[in-house]
Chains A and B, each alone.
Chain A
Amino acid sequence: MAQMSRRLVAAVSVVGLYILLELLRRTGVIGAYWAQVMDLSLIITISAVGLSLIYGFAGQFSLGHAAFYGIGAYTAGLITKTLGGEIHWYVVALAAGAGAASLVAFLIGLPILRLRSDYLGIATLGFGFIVKVLLDNSDKISPTLGGARGMLGIPQMTTFPWVFWGAVLAVLLVRNLVHSSYGRACLSVREDEIAADIMGIHTTRFKTLAFVLGCGLAGLAGGLYAHLYSYLHPQSFDFLRSLDVLLIVVLGGLGSLTGTVVTAIGLVFLQEWLRGILPRDYLDWRIVIYAIILIVLMIRRPQGLMGGREWSLRILVGGDPAQIVTGKGEKGRASA
């Protein structure tokens, strides 16, 4: 009964939040500029939730998340650009973007997920570079893709409902997965891979599962991104973008979905807000200040903002805030 009512409260508050934001946008309280920042922050959230599953929950260190984001973006963009900007092609494009990213993640994950810790990080980083080089030279495969000049003329289809419900879907998917037996298997791999293996958990299977799903979410985010600005450039999917997502996941607190969501939205808005408040002559200072904030936050809260805990409605509705995600999650990763 209590569970039912909690779910109801959660559903009502999400719908309520959506209606509120939509109203604020319609009435112009949130201007076009900030509306677009909001759309972008939600897209980044989807991608970050994907990495949260891969690294925060399954403990697989990936430095190449932006590559999958890029694969999704280019696949989705190519589909609507060639087939047309109707709504059904848009849906197909988003699905194909997520599918392509998952497929590539599966193929590359099979060999490289055997690597541990930092070595996995470097292998994914290398993969990210390979994808970037391929995107830079993609005009040699098909002129539509644009290569290093960027891909123009993708229909602008992404609107607020798409990104909002996309983000809700991503969070729900990962939340439900983490609370299922599959998710517990992933957590056990993170905590101690050898112990998990001995307890009869097929570690390769769960590592691959988390990696493929997480990269699929990055692909979905990429598809939404492609149709938000209707312009893609390989630069948007390079190594530094992978670091941005990693930063969000760690700063939010590993193994905390709410931490990831809050940090993803917070960091995008922080960057834009700094752009707004700095005097014109000091605009160059924006990233310098951002970097200082980052360093100070990390030194003050090395475990991340949420430190593996979740914000949940249980705290508001009552009942004990029991946590399933415990442990620092360092042991498994530290054994390089």
Chain B
Amino acid sequence: MGDLLESIRNGLPLLLEQVLNGLQLGFVYALIALGYTMVYSIIKLINFAHGDIFMVGAFLGVFGFTYWHLPWPAAILVAMAGCALLGVLIERIAYRPLRAKGAPRIAALITAIGVSLFIEYFSSLKFVFGPNYRVVERPFGDFRWSLGGVGISSIQLLVIAVVLGLLLALQYVVYRTRIGKAMRAVAFDMDAARLMGIDVDKVIAYTFAIGSALAAAAGVLYALAYPQIHPFMGIMPGLKAFTAAVLGGIGNIPGAVLGALIMGQVEVMTAAYISSEFRDAIAFSLLILVLLVRPAGLLGKAGPEKV
């Protein structure tokens, strides 16, 4: 009995540190997942290019504080603005023509895959970002504080603070502004919203802008936390974040955050205590199990089927 208590006492700080690592990862996933879930709730599209916008955001941010010598908060803002523009541009060029034609959803999905391939390989060209890995030089020192034996790093604090700030800002935009109200209306019923005089295309453009800006912020934070960037870095975090959004109930903003936090914890805990090789397998098994029990995700509403 004494041994058990002893081992818990020794293991606890390590466990708490892993929880912090999981939070750091989960918060980054949350920012990406929000873009997926917002776009999905409005146009029912799995925007496969979203992970690549995250990548572009990471590059813009890193270029910002290394080559353009911006202070890092300004670099994040530049990345967010650049990606918001990119998101709107993609929507305008690739998805809106399909909507105008009343094309089936799957056509938009395939177009999204095309856009994703385009961004990845175009960024790999030598005159754009280049195909190689780049090591990120952090613009500030990596401090570690110890709180009762639990180590917390400056990066972790930064990630958590920035993400919480952005989540509050998003909450404000979605629930307290005109455009947020319009977004919720379009998500609820696009045709009815259009009949009420809402400019649906404008609302969709705003949704892409906000989602892409959040992904860009996630990209910069990810590059700071795991300091290496390359043109294909968006694929896995993008898919994990999307999975997180589905886990929480796609189309549901708190669900996306919850799903992302779970995803982050599962991944870090599996890597720490079971095996880092199997962490993706375990994360996705969890997803399948949750979907079998709750087919619309943890916070999603399944709703009665309409005939």
Interface residues in A296-336 (C-beta closer than 8 Å to B): 298-299, 302-304, 328-330, 333-336
Measured CA separation A336–B9 after assembly (Å): 48
**A114, chain B: closest CB distance, angstroms:** 7
**A166, chain B: closest CB distance, angstroms:** 26
Interface CB pairs A-B, < 8 A, 10: A115-B292, A122-B243, A123-B288, A125-B239, A133-B280, A250-B110, A288-B118, A299-B97, A302-B104, A335-B305
B contact residues around A254 at 8 Å (CB): 104, 106
A contact residues around B107 at 8 Å (CB): 250, 298, 302-304
Enumerate the 9 nearest inter-chain pairs by beta-carbon distance, A residue then B residue, closest first: A302-B103, A126-B284, A291-B118, A302-B107, A294-B114, A133-B281, A291-B117, A287-B121, A295-B114
Contact, CB under 8 Å: A299 / B305? no
**A195, chain B: closest CB distance, angstroms:** 8
B contact residues around A165 at 8 Å (CB): none
Q: Is the interface of B mostly helix, strand, loop or mixed?
A: helix
Tally of chain B residues near chain A (CB < 8 A): 47
Q: Does B153 contact A (CB under 8 A)?
A: no
Measured CA separation A246–B44 after assembly (Å): 18
Contact, CB under 8 Å: B284 / A129? yes
Q: Knowing A284-B124, A288-B122, A303-B104 touch, does A130 contact B285 (C-beta < 8 A)? A: yes
Closest to B102 in A: A302
Q: Does A200 contact B (CB under 8 A)?
A: no
Count of A-B contacts with CB under 8 A?
134
Q: Knowing A288-B118, A294-B117, A299-B111 touch, does A130 contact B281 (C-beta < 8 A)? A: yes
Q: Knowing A284-B121, A291-B117 touch, does A330 contact B105 (C-beta < 8 A)? A: yes
Q: Does B115 contact A (CB under 8 A)?
A: yes
Encoded as 1 (CB less than 8 Å from any A CB) or 0, chain B from 95 to 131 comes to 0011001011111011101110110111011100001
A contact residues around B150 at 8 Å (CB): none
Contact, CB under 8 Å: B111 / A295? yes
Contact, CB under 8 Å: A119 / B104? no
Within the complex, which residue of A111, A130, A334, A335 is in contact with B292, where a contact is CB–CB below 8 Å? A111
A contact residues around B131 at 8 Å (CB): 284
Within the complex, which residue of B48, B239, B243, B284 is in contact with A130, where a contact is CB–CB below 8 Å? B284
Within the complex, which residue of B97, B121, B126, B246 is in contact with A288, where a contact is CB–CB below 8 Å? B121
A contact residues around B103 at 8 Å (CB): 302-303
B contact residues around A243 at 8 Å (CB): 48, 113
Given contacts A284-B121, A290-B117, 5 further A-B contacts (CB under 8 A): A122-B291, A125-B239, A129-B284, A136-B277, A288-B118
**B267, chain A: closest CB distance, angstroms:** 12
Interface residues in B272-290 (C-beta closer than 8 Å to A): 277-278, 280-281, 284-285, 287-288
Q: Does B180 contact A (CB under 8 A)?
A: no
Q: Does B31 contact A (CB under 8 A)?
A: no
**A301, chain B: closest CB distance, angstroms:** 9
User: What is the interface of chain B, defined by CB distance below 8 A to chain A?
Assistant: 44, 46, 48, 94, 97-98, 101, 103-107, 109-111, 113-115, 117-118, 120-122, 124-126, 131, 239, 242-243, 246, 250, 277-278, 280-281, 284-285, 287-288, 291-292, 295-296, 305-307
Contact, CB under 8 Å: B110 / A294? yes
Within the complex, which residue of A111, A134, A247, A303 is in contact with B281, where a contact is CB–CB below 8 Å? A134
B contact residues around A127 at 8 Å (CB): 284, 288
Measured CA separation A129–B126 after assembly (Å): 31
Measured CA separation A111–B98 after assembly (Å): 34
Interface residues in A82-136 (C-beta closer than 8 Å to B): 111-112, 114-116, 118-119, 121-123, 125-127, 129-130, 132-134, 136
Measured CA separation A181–B43 after assembly (Å): 36
Measured CA separation A70–B55 after assembly (Å): 29
Q: Knowing A136-B277, A291-B117 touch, does A298 contact B111 (C-beta < 8 A)? A: yes
B contact residues around A336 at 8 Å (CB): 44
Interface residues in A55-70 (C-beta closer than 8 Å to B): none
Closest to B125 in A: A284
B contact residues around A335 at 8 Å (CB): 305-306
Measured CA separation A210–B44 after assembly (Å): 26
Contact, CB under 8 Å: A115 / B295? yes
Contact, CB under 8 Å: B110 / A126? no
Measured CA separation A250–B98 after assembly (Å): 14
Measured CA separation A122–B287 after assembly (Å): 9
Within the complex, which residue of B106, B118, B306 is in contact with A295, where a contact is CB–CB below 8 Å? B118
B contact residues around A162 at 8 Å (CB): none
Closest to B305 in A: A194
Measured CA separation A246–B277 after assembly (Å): 28
Within the complex, which residue of B105, B106, B118, B126 is in contact with A284, where a contact is CB–CB below 8 Å? B126
Contact, CB under 8 Å: A299 / B288? no
Contact, CB under 8 Å: A292 / B118? yes
Measured CA separation A290–B278 after assembly (Å): 34
Q: Knowing A119-B291, A125-B239, A291-B115 touch, does A302 contact B101 (C-beta < 8 A)? A: yes
